[in-house]
Amino acid sequence: MKMRWMMMALMLTILGVGCTYDEGPDFSLASKKSRLVNSWNQTIGSGGQAYPTGMTVVLEITKDGTGKETTTLINPVTGNKSEAILDVKWEWGATKEELKLERIWAGVSQGTKIYRIVRLAGDEMFLENDSKIVEKFESAK
């Protein structure tokens, strides 16, 4: 009898940690925050297209609600490299189905965007922007 109660408690715990994202896993033992905290290579940008050859965007999200977004561009002709690094502040929206990202350049806010999380797994994240375009990220770790 005691084993039956323990199994029921375990099942309820697993179901209670379920993922609510459209394309997310059915359930995960990792919290949403632990899946979000990562270094992410952005593969599809805000225009719905892949970045051109030589351009990379890496979004690093940390536990404390901060992070960095690094955009790197390598000129295909000269090989010269340029890099822009923005500070990032993040927080959940009204529910953990939304992510608010504020980008900051040289101490000046560039605005806050609210994304709907479509998928959040250990190795990939899909965020829908306000234009209904899904931006795709792959884990850099």
Backbone angles phi, psi at 33, to 5 degrees: -65, -45
User: Residue 19 contacts by C-beta under 8 Å, 6 or more apart in sequence?
Assistant: 25, 26, 27, 28, 32, 120
**Strands, DSSP E only, in the chain?**
38-44, 55-61, 66-74, 81-92, 98-105, 108-120, 124-128, 134-139
Quote the pLDDT of residue 59.
97
State how beta strands 66-74 and 55-61 pair: antiparallel
Quote the pLDDT of residue 31.
86
Quote the pLDDT of residue 18.
46
Kindly tell me the sign of the dihedral angle through the C-alpha atoms of 110, 112, 118, 119: positive
Task: From first to last of the 141 residues of the chain, give the pLDDT tens digit.
Answer: 666 655 555 554 544 444 455 555 555 677 889 999 999 999 998 888 998 889 999 999 999 999 999 999 999 899 999 999 999 999 999 888 999 999 999 999 999 999 999 999 889 999 999 999 999 999 987
- Determine if the pTM surpasses 0.85: no
CA-nearest of 84, 128, 49, 127 to 138 is 127
Q: Which CATH number fits domain 2-139: 1.10.1760.20, 2.40.128.280, 3.40.50.300, 2.40.50.140?
A: 2.40.128.280
